[in-house]
Structure 1
């Protein structure tokens, strides 16, 4: 009996199930997802949208988009239910979060927090090009709002 207990104690533990393999990477050309449309959250002017992550197969857990706000355009104020990042590629803009506004120039990022009311507007003489990224809801395949 002692020998059996010793053998059981020294036997290798059952290894946990291996996680499922990751999906293959997705490589997306922004031109394949380019479209001209009014800006989101208020339709304040026109924009060029590149819904890059929309072309990535499920399951995915984040949104990654490029948007060019044409001169005079804005993404209107809206509440967010997740953290969100606006990263400026070119042009200038004013970002607002919970009533506080800051100017952004190329190379700057605004990290916006869950629960804030946010928006961004193009300023200056050239369009505002930015990357917008945020998580999507888990397990449902639905986008976070």
Structure 2
């Protein structure tokens, strides 16, 4: 019984600390009017999204900004990686920072490279494949869904 009380006390303390940290972070955002994040703090190795092949590194900026309506993400597609072909639910922008790739939009394939920007609309389908020997680095931006 005593072990149960100790475990419960620790769990409640951790939950309370998390709530306090979230509240403090949200309060600080409102006070400063901005959030600064460094990609070196948030990068994660992940499988390719949308059932694509290969491995990627994802940088999901501003995930902690609860009131933000935007998603801003950097993704590095390593050689042989691809974002799987999928149906688009909302406007989404892909910006090619470096590298080369092949984008498939509604079954049409075209080459993309550094400096290209692609705006995809709801109802369209697309995927993106890294080509060449260097990583394909992209920025992705879209509005968060309500659900």
* TM-score over 0.5 for the pair: yes
Whole-Å Cα distance in 2 between the matches of residues 135 and 102 of structure 1? 25
**C-alpha displacement at 1:53, in angstroms?**
2.8
Structure 2-normalised TM-score?
0.75
| Residue ranges of structure 1 left out of the alignment (5+ in a row) | 1-21
Higher fraction of helix: 2
Whole-Å Cα distance in 1 between the matches of residues 102 and 90 of structure 2? 20
**C-alpha displacement at 1:28, in angstroms?**
0.9
| Residue ranges of structure 2 left out of the alignment (5+ in a row) | 1-28
- The alignment status of 1:86 with 2:94, answered yes or no, reads yes
* Counterpart for residue 45 of structure 1: 54
Moved over 4 A (4+): none
Structure 1-normalised TM-score?
0.76
- Give SS of 1:31's match: helix
Whole-Å Cα distance in 2 between the matches of residues 67 and 120 of structure 1? 11
- Contact conserved, 2:52 with 2:85, CA < 8 A, in 1? no
- Contact conserved, 1:44 with 1:75, CA < 8 A, in 2? yes
Whole-Å Cα distance in 2 between the matches of residues 27 and 51 of structure 1? 13
* Counterpart for residue 111 of structure 2: 103
Largest Rg, 1 or 2: 1
Q: Say what the alpha-carbon RMSD is for the aligned residues.
A: 1.4
Q: 16, 19, 29: which is aligned to 2:38?
A: 29
* Counterpart for residue 116 of structure 1: 124
Whole-Å Cα distance in 2 between the matches of residues 80 and 53 of structure 1? 22
- Contact conserved, 2:35 with 2:62, CA < 8 A, in 1? no
